Amino acid sequence: MLDRPNHSPEKNISKRPCCIIAELGLDEHDVVLDGVVRWMVLDSALFREATRFILKRKGDSVRLRLLGVDYPAVITRTTSEGYELQFDNPLDPDVVDDLVSRHLTDE
C-alpha cells in the first residue's frame, strides 16, 4: 500500500513543479532507476520512476542524478506520484532556481 500524501498547505506552497530527466541510484542494491523529477525545493524532491509500477520504499539511501551531478538523499515516502526524497544537505537556492527555471511545468 502506498503512503498517503501529506497535503500540508505550508509544504505545498514551496514545491516548484518541473520535469527534469533524472536517475535514482539505490546505494544498497547498486540499482539505477530512470525517471523524472516532478517537483523540487531546497531540501527535497519528488522522483517519478519511468516504469509502470512503483514499489513501496522508505528509508533507502539514494543518489539523485540531475544533469550529471549526484545529490545524496533518503527516500522519505512513496506515493502514487513517485518517491519523495529528502536531500542529505539542502541544495543551493541558485541551483534549484536554475534547474526548475530550465525545466518548468505548469503543474
- Give residue 57's pLDDT: 86
Task: State how far the Cα of 7 lies from the Cα of 4, in Å rounded to an integer.
Answer: 9
Residues of the chain with pLDDT > 90: what percent? 54
pTM for the full predicted model: 0.76
Residue 23 burial by CB count (10 A; 0-12/13-18/19+): exposed, middle or buried? Answer: middle
3-state helix, strand, coil in the chain (%, to 5): 15, 50, 35
Instruction: Report which of residues 77 and 106 the model is more confident about.
Output: 77
Task: Kindly list the structural domains of the chain, giving each domain's residue range(s) and its CATH number in brackets, ordered by start.
Answer: 15-102 (2.40.10.220)
The three three-digit cell numbers of residue 65, written as one number: 542524478
DSSP character string of 27-44: TTTTEEEEEEEEEE-SSE
What residues does 75 pair with on adjacent strands?
85
Region 3-32: what's the mean pLDDT? 70
Give per-residue pLDDT as tens, 66-75.
Answer: 989 999 999 9
